[in-house]
């Protein structure tokens, strides 16, 4: 099979029939399957999916969650179920255009990309609450991940099958799938400007909190990709630094006091100086960072994935 199209949906009943016929008319040249993942909808979306599957025959599949888990979970299940050589994800709300898919597929097949991400160049969402923060967020993401994408979190993406079978989307990490792919060794990432429509039915499922969460997740992924397998390198280094700062300050305070005392000058008790408390704090923090490092090492030592490597070829 050429293509699997995965569509995560949460309360998108009105959009589904239109979406379905739009996809079908755009993908005439490919053998494909559609995988609708109903993320715990309560508006009757599942009934629509069931009906579409019944009418279409075998190439429309559905997965229904018992409750709402989030877009990442929906994509995770979709990735696990996908059988096509190329796997495409798109939103269910008619904002992404399936007409972009053939060109994305061509880029993967002919230009050798592992992953092609859409770029909503003319984004049709609220300028103040979505577009502007999104620009800022993407700039940060580019700096941190080193992946030169304008629109990391675009719902419309196409992947070589090996990519989705070798990454694990979890939590709310659907925003950073290109980063997950890069960390798994699929670094050939392309971008294609895509058309973007206004939301026709239903409401957006993500509010402003996604920028806070998005930023925290970015920090977590950055940390995990750099130090996930060797936490002591991070905690130990900062621990040593902290400890040294505290140590030097302590020596300074004591020596200064002794020297003043010996020369018969006025001197302050060690515990009488603000610097003493800073030194104390630095030493304690340094020790705590070290402890965090040791605990981190124990966790990563017993992590199930500690020796999961991406072997590309073997002879
Ligand atoms: N979605 C989902 N589970 C959720 C939230 C959203 O499957 O918990 C789906 C939603 O139905 C849509 C896609 O993820 O197909 C993108 O959501 P939305 O359009 O609300 O995001 P926006 O375009 O506003 O960023
Ligand atoms: Mg949308």
CA 41-156-74 angle, to 5 degrees, is 35
Q: Which atom of ligand 1 is nearest to the CA of 93?
A: 15
pLDDT of residue 125: 86
Å from CA of 123 to ligand 2 middle: 11
pLDDT of residue 108: 98
* Protein residue with its CA nearest to atom 16 in ligand 1: 91
* Protein residue with its CA nearest to atom 2 in ligand 1: 71
Q: pTM for the whole thing?
A: 0.91
Å from CA of 197 to ligand 2 middle: 9
pLDDT of residue 308: 87
Q: Are residues 91 and 174 in the same domain?
A: yes
In the chain, how many domains are there?
Answer: 2
Biggest alpha carbon–alpha carbon distance for the chain: 98
Q: Which atom of ligand 1 is nearest to the CA of 153?
A: 25
Q: Which atom of ligand 1 is nearest to the CA of 95?
A: 23
Chunked mean pLDDT (size 10), the chain, 315 residues: 97 96 95 97 97 90 97 98 98 96 97 97 86 91 96 96 96 96 96 95 89 94 95 97 96 95 92 94 97 97 90 92
Q: Are residues 235 and 223 in the same domain?
A: no
Q: Are residues 53 and 127 in the same domain?
A: yes
Q: What is the 3-state secondary structure (H, E, C) of 46-73?
A: HHHHHHHHHHHCCCEEEEECCCCCCHHH
Residue 314 counted as domain residue: no
Range of the structural domain that residue 160 is part of: 3-227
Q: Are residues 89 and 8 in the same domain?
A: yes
pLDDT of residue 2: 95
pLDDT of residue 208: 83
Q: What is the rounded distance in angstroms from the CA atom of residue 108 to the CA atom of residue 90?
A: 17
Of the bound ligands, which one is closest to the alpha carbon of residue 15? Answer: 1
For residue 16, give the CATH number of its domain: 3.90.550.10
Q: Give the start-end residues of each E strand in the chain.
A: 3-9, 32-38, 60-64, 86-89, 115-120, 157-160, 189-194
Q: Are residues 251 and 144 in the same domain?
A: no
Å from CA of 273 to ligand 2 middle: 58
Q: Are residues 173 and 248 in the same domain?
A: no
Å from CA of 153 to ligand 2 middle: 11
Residue 306 counted as domain residue: no
Q: Are residues 92 and 75 in the same domain?
A: yes
Q: Are residues 161 and 191 in the same domain?
A: yes
pLDDT of residue 264: 94
Bridge partners of 62, per DSSP, are: 36
Q: Are residues 51 and 96 in the same domain?
A: yes
Residue 202 counted as domain residue: yes
Bridge partners of 242, per DSSP, are: none
Residue 87 counted as domain residue: yes
pLDDT of residue 181: 97
Q: Which atom of ligand 1 is nearest to the CA of 205?
A: 20
Residues with CB under 6 A from ligand 1: 8-10, 12, 39, 68, 70-71, 74, 91-93, 95, 155, 204-206
Q: Are residues 217 and 240 in the same domain?
A: no
Q: Are residues 187 and 278 in the same domain?
A: no
Structure-block tokens of residue 181? 């792919």
Å from CA of 39 to ligand 2 middle: 15
Q: Single out the residue in 198, 227, 256 at which a domain terminates.
A: 227
């Amino acid at each position: 099979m050429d293509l699997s199209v995965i569509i995560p949906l949460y309360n998108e009943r009105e959009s589904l029939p239109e979406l379905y016929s739009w996809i079908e008319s755009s993908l005439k040249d490919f053998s494909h399957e559609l995988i609708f993942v109903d993320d715990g909808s309560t508006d009757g979306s599942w009934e629509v999916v069931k009906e579409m599957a019944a009418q279409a025959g075998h190439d429309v599949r559905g997965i229904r969650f018992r409750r709402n888990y989030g877009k990442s979970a929906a994509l995770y299940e979709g990735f696990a179920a996908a059988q096509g050589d190329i796997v495409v994800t798109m939103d269910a709300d008619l904002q992404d255009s399936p007409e972009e898919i053939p060109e994305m597929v061509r880029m993967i097949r002919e230009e050798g990309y592992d992953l092609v991400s859409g770029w909503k160049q003319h984004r049709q969402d609220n300028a103040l609450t979505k577009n502007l923060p999104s620009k800022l967020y993407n700039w940060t993401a580019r700096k941190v991940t080193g992946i030169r994408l304008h629109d990391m979190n675009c719902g419309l993406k196409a992947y070589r099958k090996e990519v989705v079978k070798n990454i694990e989307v979890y939590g709310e990490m659907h925003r950073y799938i290109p980063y997950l792919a890069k960390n798994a060794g699929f670094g050939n990432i392309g971008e294609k400007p895509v058309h973007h429509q206004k939301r026709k039915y239903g409401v957006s499922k993500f509010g402003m909190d996604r920028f806070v969460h998005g930023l925290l997740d970015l920090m977590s992924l950055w940390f995990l990709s750099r130090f996930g397998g060797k936490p002591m390198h991070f905690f130990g280094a900062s621990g040593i630094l902290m400890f040294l700062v505290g140590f030097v300050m302590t020596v300074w305070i004591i020596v200064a006091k002794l020297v003043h005392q010996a020369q018969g000058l006025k001197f302050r008790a060690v515990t009488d100086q603000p610097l003493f408390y800073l030194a104390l704090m630095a030493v304690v923090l340094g020790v705590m960072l070290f402890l965090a490092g040791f605990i981190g090492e124990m966790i990563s030592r017993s992590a199930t994935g500690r020796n999961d490597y991406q072997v590309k070829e073997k002879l």
